[in-house]
Homo-oligomer: A and B are copies of this chain.
C-alpha cells in the first residue's frame, strides 16, 4: 500500500509543490514521509493485531449505563492520539502541525486499512473540533476545540433521530432557553435540550474523561411550536460532563444518558449509540434537560454541518477504499501462496503435475485486477479530493474557487463510488479464498461486513445521486460539470502522446460525451421527479467515468516514468497500465446501460405501484 500511496502523492499529485506555500512552509517531502512512516508503523503494530478482537468482542452496555469496550479500543485510541494526527491539519495555535489534508488523508489510510473504527473515533473528534473552529465563539474554540484537538476529549455528531435519518428536517429534539443562564455565559447562550438521538458513533464510552456532543436541535418559536424544515435547526455543544471556565470537570454529569447500543453487522470497533437528552436521569441543578451551548446563530445548524460534509464524505470514501485495500492485500497474498488446481489446456492434463498457485488461474487474476482497479482507483479519487481541499484552503485566486467547484461536483462520487465498489472488491477477496474466506480464520469476511456500512452512513447512497444530478451538475449553469469535463478532456488529450493509451483516450472522450448528453437529456423536461427518476444509475455512470479518467491520468504518469525505471519500479508501473486496460475493457463499457435509462428518463420505477409488487 505504501508504494501505491507514494506513487499517488509524489508522482501523480506532486505534493512537494505544496511545501512552497506559506501554510506548509515548515514541511518537506521528508516530513511527509516521516508522518507516513509513523502511521504505517502504528497501524501495523497496534491496530492490525486487534482488528478481529473488536469484531468478536463487540461493545456492551454495563448495568450502570456505561459502555464496555475491549482493551484494544483503549490501546488504539491512545496510540492514535500519540501520533498527533487528531490535530494534524490544524493551525500551530491549536496544537496542530499545519499538515496538508492530502497527507493527513494518506496517513489515515494506514489506520483504516489495519482496523476501521479503531483509534477512539478520532476522525469524529477532528470533525467536531473543525466545526467549532469554523463557527464557534472564541471561548468555545478555546474551551472545547482545543481539548478535542489535544485528544483529551472525544467529539460526536448528533444529527439523526429514530424518525429522521435521511430527512433531518424532521428532527424534534427541542432546545429551550435556560432560565438560569445569560448571554454573557462564557460558553455561549445556554439551553436545555430534550430529545432522543440515534446512530451516534462513539456516543458513550470511557476512552476519555469527557465527550463533547455536537447536537442538532430546534428552538421553539414564541408559541412553543417547532419551526418546520431545515431553517429551524440550530447547533449546540453538549458536553457529557459539565466543565468550568478553566475546562476542568465540575463533577456534574450532564442530562445525557445512554439509551442503548446498536448491534451492527460490522464496523464494531466503534460503539454506535442511542442517546437520550434531557430524560432527567442526570438532572442538572435539579432541573431536567441537557445543558447545551448554542454555536453561532440560531437556525444555522444544518448549514454549519454541511460545511463539514465534504470532508466527512471524503473520510467515508477513504474508509471504504482502505477496507477494500485490506481485502485486496489479503487475497493477493493468499492467491500467491495457496496451490489449487491446474492450468487449463494441455499443461494441466497431467494429474501428477503439482497444483499451481491460485494466481495462475485467469479468473483469479480477473478478481485481483478488479480489486486493484476498485481500491486503487478509490484511493486515487480520495486523495485527489483531499488535494482539492488543500487547494480550496491555500490556493490563490481562481485556483481556490475552481478547486471548490470541482470538489462540490466530485463529493457525491467520492462518498458513493468507493462505498459501493470496495464492498464488491471485498466480496472478490472472499471468493478468492474459497470456503476459507467465509470463515473467521481469515480476515476478509470481516472486511466485507465492515465495509457495507459505508453505503449507508454520511448520506445513504441514493441521496448522493440526487445531490449530483439534482444539484451539483446544475448549479451556476452547470459550471461545475463543465469544469469536470475540461479536466477529463485534458487527461484524454494528454494520453494521445502515448500510442498505447490512445484507445483509452478516445473511449474516455466518448464516455464523457455520453455522460454530458445524458445529463442534458435527463433535464430536457421541467419536472424534477422525472428528471431524477434514474439518479442512482446516473451516479454509477458518473462514478465510472470519473474513475476511468483517474486511471488514464495515472497511466499517463506511468508511461512517463517507465523509461529508465528500475525493474521493481517498472513492474509496478506495468501493473498500473494493466489495471487501466482492465478498467477500460471490463468496467467503463458498463456505463452505456446506466446512461441509457438516465437519458431516456425511463419511467419504470416511477410508475411501479405499491400493490403490484
Complex interface residues of chain A between 319 and 358 (CB less than 8 A to chain B): 332, 336, 339-345, 351-352, 355
Q: Are A445 and B166 in contact (CB under 8 A)?
A: no
Q: Are B265 and A605 in contact (CB under 8 A)?
A: no
Smallest distance from the beta carbon of A376 to chain B beta carbons, Å?
Answer: 10
Known: A466-B344, A593-B589. A605 touches B439 (CB 8 A): no
- Asked if A75 lies at the interface with its beta carbon under 8 angstroms from chain B, I say no
User: Considering only CB atoms, which chain B residue lies closest to A261 in the complex?
Assistant: B439
Of the candidates A163, A265, A449, the one having the most CB atoms from chain B within 10 angstroms of its own CB is A265
The main secondary structure of chain A at its interface with chain B is helix
Q: Are B536 and A363 in contact (CB under 8 A)?
A: yes
The residues of B that contact A266 with a CB separation of less than 8 Å are 438
Q: Are A431 and B449 in contact (CB under 8 A)?
A: no
Q: Are A445 and B228 in contact (CB under 8 A)?
A: no
- Asked if A452 lies at the interface with its beta carbon under 8 angstroms from chain B, I say yes
Kindly report how many copies of this chain are found in the complex they form together. 2
Of the candidates A351, A423, A431, A457, the one having the most CB atoms from chain B within 10 angstroms of its own CB is A351
Q: Are B533 and A362 in contact (CB under 8 A)?
A: yes
Q: Pick the residue among B423, B582, B608 that contacts A365 (CB under 8 A).
A: B608
Q: Are A430 and B457 in contact (CB under 8 A)?
A: no
The residues of B that contact A581 with a CB separation of less than 8 Å are 604
Complex interface residues of chain A between 569 and 613 (CB less than 8 A to chain B): 571-572, 574-575, 578, 581-582, 585-587, 589-590, 592-593, 596-597, 602, 604-613
- Asked if A152 lies at the interface with its beta carbon under 8 angstroms from chain B, I say no
Smallest distance from the beta carbon of A133 to chain B beta carbons, Å?
Answer: 28
Q: Are B199 and A435 in contact (CB under 8 A)?
A: yes
The residues of B that contact A582 with a CB separation of less than 8 Å are 604-605, 608
Give a binary string over A350-391; 1 marks a CB under 8 Å from any B CB, 0 the rest.
Answer: 011001000101111110110010000000000000000000
- Count residues on chain A whose CB falls below 8 Å from chain B CBs: 101
Q: Are A571 and B363 in contact (CB under 8 A)?
A: no
Q: Are B535 and A575 in contact (CB under 8 A)?
A: no
Q: Are A597 and B585 in contact (CB under 8 A)?
A: yes
Q: Are A585 and B604 in contact (CB under 8 A)?
A: yes
The residues of B that contact A423 with a CB separation of less than 8 Å are 427
- Asked if A281 lies at the interface with its beta carbon under 8 angstroms from chain B, I say no
Complex interface residues of chain A between 435 and 467 (CB less than 8 A to chain B): 435, 437-441, 445, 448-449, 452-453, 455-457, 460-462, 465-466
Q: Are A438 and B264 in contact (CB under 8 A)?
A: yes
The residues of B that contact A587 with a CB separation of less than 8 Å are 593
Rounded to whole angstroms, the CA-CA distance of A183 and B135 in the bound complex is 89
Give a binary string over A525-544; 1 marks a CB under 8 Å from any B CB, 0 the rest.
Answer: 00111001111110000000
User: Considering only CB atoms, which chain B residue lies closest to A364 in the complex?
Assistant: B462
User: Considering only CB atoms, which chain B residue lies closest to A567 in the complex?
Assistant: B611
Smallest distance from the beta carbon of A535 to chain B beta carbons, Å?
Answer: 7
- Asked if A169 lies at the interface with its beta carbon under 8 angstroms from chain B, I say yes
- Asked if A181 lies at the interface with its beta carbon under 8 angstroms from chain B, I say no
Rounded to whole angstroms, the CA-CA distance of A369 and B574 in the bound complex is 42
- Asked if A263 lies at the interface with its beta carbon under 8 angstroms from chain B, I say yes
- Asked if A434 lies at the interface with its beta carbon under 8 angstroms from chain B, I say yes
Q: Are B229 and A351 in contact (CB under 8 A)?
A: yes
Rounded to whole angstroms, the CA-CA distance of A355 and B167 in the bound complex is 9
Give a binary string over A149-174; 1 marks a CB under 8 Å from any B CB, 0 the rest.
Answer: 00000000000100111110110000
Chain A interface (Cβ < 8 Å from any Cβ of B):
160, 163-167, 169-170, 198-199, 228-230, 262-266, 332, 336, 339-345, 351-352, 355, 359, 361-366, 368-369, 372, 423, 427, 430-431, 434-435, 437-441, 445, 448-449, 452-453, 455-457, 460-462, 465-466, 470, 527-529, 532-537, 571-572, 574-575, 578, 581-582, 585-587, 589-590, 592-593, 596-597, 602, 604-613
Query: Told that A199-B435, A265-B448, A537-B586 touch, could you supply 6 new A-B pairs with CB distance under 8 A?
Result: A165-B340, A369-B605, A430-B452, A448-B452, A582-B604, A585-B602
